[in-house]
Structure 1
Amino acid sequence: MHMRKYQPIDFKRRHYEGEIILLCVRWYFRYRVSYRNLSEMME
């Protein structure tokens, strides 16, 4: 069995910290929050 090696996610030059970006991605997929609602929540 071959294990996949994952590259770390690079959030350089982003407006928000990496943890916030990952949290938004989680909300987007889990709770089906729209991109518009996410951007309003982050303001």
Structure 2
Amino acid sequence: MGDSYCSDCKRNTEVVFGHAAGDTVCSECELVLESRSIDETS
């Protein structure tokens, strides 16, 4: 999890990374901010 700017909420909000689909999703409005991301933290 982290913080990012959501263009739908118009504010900085907490985002959730969905590992199955690779999507970064706004925790407030569930807008997909980034799709098919690659997790390079391993």
TM class by shorter-chain length?
under 0.3
Structure with max Cα Rg: 1
**Please, what TM-score do these two structures have when normalized by structure 1?**
0.20
Structure with greater helix share of residues: 1
Could you say which structure has the greater relative contact order, defined with CA pairs below 8 angstroms and 6 or more residues apart? Answer: 2
Structure with greater strand share of residues: 2
**Please, what TM-score do these two structures have when normalized by structure 2?**
0.21
